[in-house]
Each structure stands twice: as C-alpha cells, then as structure tokens.
Amino acid sequence: MIFGVTLKAQEPVAPVFPKMSKADTIRVASTNDNGMMIPWMQLQDVSIFAHRIWKSPAEQMAYNRLRYNVLKVMPYALFAKRRYQQLEEDIARTPEKKDQKKLVKQCDQEIKDMFNREIKELTITQGQILTKLIDREVGRTTYDIVKQTKGGFAAFSYQIVARVVGHNLKSTYNPNEDRDIESIIRTSGFYQ
C-alpha cells in the first residue's frame, strides 16, 4: 500500500568558473548567478563637472586667483588637521595638566619650526582662506582652537590683531556660501 518514490524538484548545478590562463593573476570577487560565476569589482566614484562659463574675463581671473590661493594653503590645513587630531589624542592619554601644557607647547613649536617662513609669507587673503579651511577640516574655528590650546587671553589678543587687518578668526566654513572653494578642493585631487 505504501510505495517509496524518489522525487527531485531541482537538480544541483555546479558553478561554472571562467577559464584561467597563465596571465590571470588578479583575484576579484564573484557572484554565483544560476551556476555562472560572474566576476565583479568595485570602481572608484567618478565626479563629472560641467565646463564653467564665465560672465567676464575679470570673473575668470578672480576664480583663477582664488584657485591659486586655495591650492597654496590646502596642504597647511591638512597638516593642521592631522597634527590637531594627534594633539587631542595625546592630551586625552595624559592625565596631568603640566604634561598636557608641555604637549601643547611642543606641538606649537613643531608647527612654528616647520612652517614659520612659509606661513609668514602668506597674503591676508590666503590667511583668511586658511582659517576657513582649518574650520572645514577640523570642524572648529581657529579662535576656538587657539582658546583651547593657548588660553582665552591669547585667543582674544590674536582676534584683535586679526581684526586690525580686516580678518576674523571666528569665521566659519559654509559649503554653500564658499561653493567656489569647495569645488576647487573637490577637483584638486586632495581627496581621492
């Protein structure tokens, strides 16, 4: 009365791998799609920028001057970001205030030794761009950084000197307002 019957709903299919030759040495990820192994690899993002149309030659010259200034000060902003992050990590690991002040002085001296001549030769416009880029990279204004590392009086003094030359250490970076700077940074190759 009871019969034994073997049923097969699907037959297993062995995956088919592409044929390899002697020159095939690159290993990539692959996906099994109904028994066919399909190799794939992730590609880098591609940004496409339109050709900019200038209203006047003066506008193009102003943009080129801004591009020159941004490209000149961007390495300083990136260095400041790395060094400030390292300083914060070192301060977090050091419990005593005396040792923390020593770390801050050491960091300040290192920056002065490395960039003393170059930073002194920056123009006022390049200094303004540098403070905005530091805010962009670190996420804090230059005034806040000086206040934390050197104290409130030093930050106040630096702010007064900056105001005399028509600058503000409390200026922040806004990608919408500073869209030319943002586009220069994105097309420059600093972030790849």
User: Which strand (E) or helix (H) includes residue 33?
Assistant: strand 29-33
Report if residue 175 sits inside a domain: yes
Report if residue 51 sits inside a domain: no
pLDDT at 9 over 70: no
Say what the pLDDT of residue 57 is. 93
pLDDT at 116 over 80: no
Cα 137 versus chain centre, distance: 6
Q: Which of 64-68, 104-108, 155-159 has the highest mean pLDDT?
A: 64-68
Helix axes 124-138, 179-188, angle to 10 degrees: 70
36, β-bridge pairs: 16, 33
Report if residue 28 sits inside a domain: no
Residues in the chain: 192
The total number of structural domains in the chain stands at 1
Task: Measure Cα distances from 130 to 4, 64, 92, 119 in Å.
Answer: 83, 17, 26, 10
Boundaries of domain holding 122: 57-188
Return the residue matching tokens 């770390």: 103
pLDDT at 87 over 80: yes
Of the candidate ranges 4-8, 19-23, 57-61, 99-103, the one whose mean pLDDT is the lowest: 4-8
Report if residue 12 sits inside a domain: no
What tokens were used for 97?
Answer: 């205030």
Return the residue matching tokens 């030769």: 121
pTM for the full predicted model: 0.67
Report if residue 72 sits inside a domain: yes
The 10 Å Cβ neighbour count of residue 88 is 13
Report if residue 37 sits inside a domain: no
Under DSSP, the state recorded for 126 is H
Report if residue 131 sits inside a domain: yes
